[in-house]
């Protein structure tokens, strides 16, 4: 493996380990802190993301449906974005 590819690989492994540690942290006491003040649907998205391994694609249709539900329950509008005004 070339030195530049090796460095990139080690960087990726470190990032995946950091993500794993953060996810474990969020399952415990930080769960409320992470989602406090957020729509309840956000707490349903976290387990969907947690199901897979680091390189697995999440269930995007389920996440999108929950985000749409959060928009409705909070009476928020998806468009226009503030930078589009």
Query: Bigger pLDDT: 62 or 10?
Result: 62
* Residue 64: Cβ-neighbour burial (10 angstroms; 0-12, 13-18, 19+): exposed
Q: Which pLDDT tens digit goes with each residue over 20-73?
A: 777 777 777 677 777 888 899 998 998 898 888 888 999 999 999 999 999 999
Cα separation, 25 vs 34, in Å, equals: 10
Query: Bigger pLDDT: 17 or 12?
Result: 17
* Residue 45: Cβ-neighbour burial (10 angstroms; 0-12, 13-18, 19+): buried
Report the pLDDT value the prediction gives residue 29, as an integer from 0 to 100. Answer: 67
DSSP-assigned letters across all residues of 29-42: THHHHHHTTS-THH
Cα separation, 32 vs 1, in Å, equals: 43
């Amino acid at each position: 493996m070339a030195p530049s590819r090796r460095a990139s690989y080690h960087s990726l492994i470190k990032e995946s380990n950091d993500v794993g540690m953060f996810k474990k942290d969020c399952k415990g006491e930080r769960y409320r802190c992470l989602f406090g003040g957020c729509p309840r649907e956000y707490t349903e998205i976290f387990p969907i993301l947690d199901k897979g391994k680091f390189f697995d694609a999440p269930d995007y249709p389920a996440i999108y449906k929950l985000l749409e539900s959060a928009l409705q329950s909070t009476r928020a509008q998806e468009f226009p974005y503030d930078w589009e005004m």
